Amino acid sequence: MITTNDLKNGYVLDIDGELVSVVSFQHVKPGKGGAFVRTKLKNMTSGAVVEKTFRAGEKVERVTTESRTMQFLYRDGDELHLMDNTTYEQIPVTSKLVENDDLLAPNTDVQVLFVRDAPIRVELPTFVELAVTRTDPGVKGDTVSNVTKPAEVETGATIDVPLFVNEGDRLKIDTRTREYSARA
C-alpha cells in the first residue's frame, strides 16, 4: 500500500478490483479545504482513461509489475505464441493484448508486461522492418508532394507508402502510427 502523495506516472494500481495505470497526476492544495490529488488513470484491460480524485494521503494498493523481453514465434488463430528469451518457456497470449498485432513478424522481440504472473500487455518495438509483398507500380509523372499508394507487407498488413517503393523492398515502419519511415 502507498499513499496518493507517493504516486508516479506508470505506477499500476488496484482500484476496486480493476488494474489501472497512472497516466498523470497533480497535487492540488486549495486555499480552503483539504489537499487532494487529481489523477488520470488508464484501465489496463479496456484501455479507457478516467479521471479520479483522491484525498491527499489516501492509501491505494500498488501492484508490482514485471517487464520481460520475449520473442514472437507464431500465430495460431487469435493466439500469439511467445518465448521467454531467458528461460525459453513458451506462453500463448491473446492478440487483444497487442496493439497493431498485424505488424508483428516471427522472431521479433517484444516487451511483455506481467502483473501477478499474468501477461496484460504486449508492446511492439518502435520500428519493425518488413518486406513488401504486393504493391502497384508508381506511375511516372505522379510527383505531387506526399503522394502515397497502398502496399501489403509480409505480415498481411496494408501500409501507405511513397510511389518509389516496389515489391521486394524492405521498409522500416513505425508501429505506433503505422506509417512508412524509411527503406531498410
Q: What is the pLDDT of residues 7-54, one digit of tens each?
A: 888 888 988 888 898 999 999 998 888 899 999 998 887 778 999 999
Q: State pTM to two decimals.
A: 0.74
Look at the chain and count its residues: 184
Residue 144: the pLDDT is 63
State the greatest distance between any 2 C-alpha atoms of the chain, in Å, as a whole number: 70
Domain identity same for 116 and 133: no
- Mean of the per-residue pLDDT values for the chain? 88
d(CA 80, CA 86): 19
Note the pLDDT of residue 143. Answer: 61
> Quick one: average pLDDT of 101-129?
89
- How far, in Å, CA of 176 to CA of 162, rounded? 19
Given 76, 100, 123, the domain boundary residue is: 123
Per the structure, the count of domains in the chain is 3
Output the domain CATH number for residue 21.
Answer: 2.30.30.30
138 or 52, which is more confident:
52
SS3 97: helix
Domain boundary (11, 43, 63) is at: 63
Confidence class for position 70, pLDDT limits 50, 70, 90:
very high
Question: Domain holding 167: CATH number?
Answer: 2.40.50.140
C-alpha grid cell, residue 161: 507508402
- Domain housing 95: 65-123
How far is residue 61's CA from residue 50's CA, in Å, rounded to a whole number?
18
